Structure 1
Amino acid sequence: MVRVAVVGSYGVGLTMRVPRVPVAGETLSGGEFASGHGGKGSNQAVQAARLGADVTFLTAVGDDTMGESAQRLWADEGVAAHPVVVGEAATMAGVILVEPSGENRIVIASGALDHLTPEHVDEQSGDLAAADIAVVSLEIPVEVAVHAVEVAHAAGTRTLLNPAPAMSLPGGVWTHVDVVTPNLTEAAILLGLDPAASDHPPEELARLLHERTGATVLLTQGGDGVTVADDTGVATIDAVRADRVVDTTGAGDAFTAAAAVALAEGADPIAAARFAARVGSYVVGRHEVIPALPTRADLARVTEPLHDRTTDTTPGGPST
C-alpha cells in the first residue's frame, strides 16, 4: 500500500443548483440546495484513500459542528487526519453555484484555515517524511503550502503541488516541487499571463510551465484532455468521455489525488494522467463531491474509456 500525505483544506460546501447565474441585484428562484463535505485537501485525501492509499491529512477546522462532522468523515474513510482545531474561527465554508451544464462558480470563506501555520507542518513532518508522495494545494496560507513542499522535499519525499486557487508563488518553491497539476487558467496565472487574454495553446502552456519550474506538468483541460510536459517532451492525452456531465465540482481534486496515487505506485506521468482522467470523468457524471469520488471497484464497473489515445506533440518525443 502506497503512502500519501496531504496538506490542505477542509470546508463545507453549500451547493445551489440554479437554472442560470443571477445578474447583480436579481433574486432568482428555482434553485436546489445541498450541503456537504468539501475543501480541496479533504477531497484529495478521501479520494486517495478510496483508491487504496494509506493517507495522512493535515488541515485546520473550527471548534464547531462542521469541524466535528469532518472528523467523523475522515474516520469513516480511513484517513489519518491531524486537524488543528481553532476555537476562534469557523470551519471553512464555500458557496457553490452549479448551472445545468455542470459548470460551477465558487466563493470561499477561509475561517480556521487562516490559522494554519508552518509550525503545524513541522509538528507533522514525520508524516511527510514517511510518505511516498506529498500532495499540497493552495486553499491554505501560501507560506504553509510552501513550507510543506520544502519539508517533504528535504525528507526525500516526492512532491505534488495542486496550484488551486492559482496565485503568485515565491520563485524558490519550484526547486521543491516534482509534479504540478494546474488547469488552463491556473497555468496561465503561474506564468504571469492574463488567462482571459492568453491565446497560447495548451501544449505551449505546459511546455513553458515545465521550463519555468522544472516540474512535471499535468495540465488538465476538462473535456479536451490532459497535456503532460516533462524532460522527455510534451504529449496530450485525449479526454476520457463521461457518460454525462452533471457537476464538475471536485473533478480536479479527484484527478490530482488519482495522479498522486498512480505516481506513488510507480506509473510514469502519462500513465498516471490517463488513470487520473478516468477518475475525473467518473466524478463529473455524479452529483456532489464525496458521493462521487470512486473506488477502484467503482471504476471497474463502468465502461472502458472511449478515448484513450496519446498524441505526441514533441518532435522526437515519446509516444504511448
Structure 2
Amino acid sequence: MRIAVVGSYGVGLTMRVPRVPAPGETLSGARFSSGHGGKGSNQAVAAARMGAQVSLLTAVGSDRFGTDALQLWADENVDAAHVRVADAATMVGVIMVDEQGENRIAIAPGALDTLTPDDVEGFADRIAGADLVVVSLEIPLPTALAALRTAHERGVPTLLNPAPATELPPEAWEWIDVVTPNAGEAHTLIGRTPDDDTDAAELVDALRARFTGTIVLTRGRHGALADDGTERLDLEPVAPERVVDTTGAGDSFTGALAVALARGDDLAGGLRLAAAAGAHTVGIAEVIPALPRPDDVAALLQGTQR
C-alpha cells in the first residue's frame, strides 16, 4: 500500500487558563502543552502506523519546530524527501482554552504559504507511484488542486479531506474519487451556511448532485453516512473505551480509511476500520500518541463483535 499525502504540518501551542485575560492583563496559573499537528502530517503518520508506505508533501521552516517535524517523520517511517524547508516560520497555532472548554485560536501559516503547485510537480513521481493520494485544505488552495489534478491525470485515485472547507471550482470535482467532509464542511462545499438544518441524508443528496465519486459524511459519535453512487451505507459508530481528547480523531479516521481503500477493501470494511481507528484515538490525550496501530484497531473491532 503506497499512499502520497499532500497537506499541512504545524505545531499546536495550548494554554489552559482559569479565564481569558482582559486586554493588558497578565494572568498566572495557566497550564501549557505543545504537540505535533497539521492534518497532512497527522494523516500521514496515521496511515504509516496502519502499515502503508507513505510519502508526504508539506512545508516547514528552518527552525526548531521544522527540525522536530523532520525527526517525527523519520521516527514514523514517513518519506519526507520532498518536504519544503522554507525561509519562514513553521506553522503554529496558539490555542487558549478556559475552564468551560471554550477556546480561542490564532494560526500563523508561515511556511505553508510557500507551498506551491511547483512543489507538487516535484512530488509527481511519488503521486504517480501511489495507490491513493490524500489531500487536505490547510495548504494554499491552488496547491491542493494541483495535487488532485496531478493524481487524476496519472490515473491515481484521490481522497479529499476538505478541511478547512471552501467551495471548490466545478472542474475540481472531476479530480476527486472520495470526499470525506463532516456536516459543517459539507454545508460549505454545497454553498450553504453551517447553521442550516439540513439533515445528513439531504447533505449527501446535495453533494451527489455535483459529484459522481464516493461520499463519506463523517458524523462523530453518530458514525458516518456513505454513498458510492450505487448504495448508501449508514455506519454505526465504534464505541470508544473512554473519551479523553477528541483532537485528531478525524485525521485518524482518514488515515485508516486511506489504508483500507489503497489495499482494495470494500467501502463498508474500510469505514469500519476507520471508525475503530477514530474511536481508539479519542481515548488518549494528544494526537500523535493516540494514533493507532493495527493491533489497537483489531482489539476494538473484536470487542464490538462479542
> What is the CA–CA distance in structure 1 between the aligned matches of 2:50 and 2:99, rounded to whole Å?
29
Question: Any gaps of 5 or more consecutive residues in structure 1?
Answer: 309-320
**Does the Cα contact within 8 Å between 1:121 and 1:147 map onto a contact in 2?**
yes
Q: Cα gap change, 1:29/1:296 in structure 2, threshold over 3 Å: closer, same or farther? A: farther
> What is the CA–CA distance in structure 2 between the aligned matches of 1:113 and 1:188, rounded to whole Å?
26
Q: Cα gap change, 1:79/1:96 in structure 2, threshold over 3 Å: closer, same or farther? A: same
Q: Cα gap change, 1:300/1:37 in structure 2, threshold over 3 Å: closer, same or farther? A: same
Q: CA offsets, 1:133-181, max 9 Å, x none? A: 0000000000000000000111111100000001121111000000001
> What is the CA–CA distance in structure 1 between the aligned matches of 2:264 and 2:104, rounded to whole Å?
35
* Post-superposition offset of 1:101: 8.9
> What is the CA–CA distance in structure 2 between the aligned matches of 1:222 and 1:230, rounded to whole Å?
20
SS at match of 2:209: helix
Q: Cα gap change, 1:102/1:128 in structure 2, threshold over 3 Å: closer, same or farther? A: farther
Residue equivalent to 1:275? 273
Q: Cα gap change, 1:153/1:93 in structure 2, threshold over 3 Å: closer, same or farther? A: same
Residue equivalent to 2:60? 61
> What is the CA–CA distance in structure 1 between the aligned matches of 2:304 and 2:111, rounded to whole Å?
43
Residue equivalent to 1:35? 34
How many aligned positions are there? 304
Residue equivalent to 2:85? 85
SS at match of 1:304: helix
Q: Cα gap change, 1:296/1:122 in structure 2, threshold over 3 Å: closer, same or farther? A: same
Residue equivalent to 1:214? 212
Question: Any gaps of 5 or more consecutive residues in structure 2?
Answer: none
Q: Cα gap change, 1:96/1:284 in structure 2, threshold over 3 Å: closer, same or farther? A: farther
* Post-superposition offset of 1:56: 0.3
> What is the CA–CA distance in structure 2 between the aligned matches of 1:99 and 1:232, rounded to whole Å?
46
> What is the CA–CA distance in structure 2 between the aligned matches of 1:221 and 1:51, rounded to whole Å?
22
Residue equivalent to 1:5? 4
Residue equivalent to 1:292? 290
**Does the Cα contact within 8 Å between 1:240 and 1:278 map onto a contact in 2?**
yes
Query: Is 1:156 aligned to residue 146 of structure 2?
Result: no
CA RMSD of aligned residues (A): 2.3
> What is the CA–CA distance in structure 1 between the aligned matches of 2:276 and 2:40, rounded to whole Å?
20
SS at match of 1:213: coil
**Does the Cα contact within 8 Å between 2:167 and 2:190 map onto a contact in 1?**
no
* Post-superposition offset of 1:16: 3.3
**Does the Cα contact within 8 Å between 1:247 and 1:285 map onto a contact in 2?**
yes
Residue equivalent to 1:74? 73
Percent identical pairs in the alignment equals 55
**Does the Cα contact within 8 Å between 2:182 and 2:219 map onto a contact in 1?**
yes
> What is the CA–CA distance in structure 2 between the aligned matches of 1:223 and 1:253, rounded to whole Å?
15
> What is the CA–CA distance in structure 2 between the aligned matches of 1:189 and 1:142, rounded to whole Å?
15
* Post-superposition offset of 1:274: 1.4
Moved more, 243-252 or 92-101: 92-101
> What is the CA–CA distance in structure 2 between the aligned matches of 1:203 and 1:27, rounded to whole Å?
48
SS at match of 2:32: strand
Q: CA offsets, 1:101-141, max 9 Å, x none? A: 98876442110000011011001100000000000000000
> What is the CA–CA distance in structure 2 between the aligned matches of 1:287 and 1:10, rounded to whole Å?
19
* Post-superposition offset of 1:271: 1.7
SS at match of 2:164: coil
Q: 1:254 aligns with which of 244, 252, 255?
A: 252
> What is the CA–CA distance in structure 2 between the aligned matches of 1:102 and 1:76, rounded to whole Å?
33
SS at match of 1:227: strand
Residue equivalent to 1:263? 261
Residue equivalent to 2:113? 114
* Post-superposition offset of 1:299: 2.4
Q: Cα gap change, 1:191/1:80 in structure 2, threshold over 3 Å: closer, same or farther? A: same
Letter in 1 for 2:61: G
Q: CA offsets, 1:185-232, max 9 Å, x none? A: 000110111111x11111221222122222211111111110101211
Q: Cα gap change, 1:281/1:155 in structure 2, threshold over 3 Å: closer, same or farther? A: same
Query: TM-score with structure 2 length normalisation?
Result: 0.92
Letter in 2 for 1:223: R
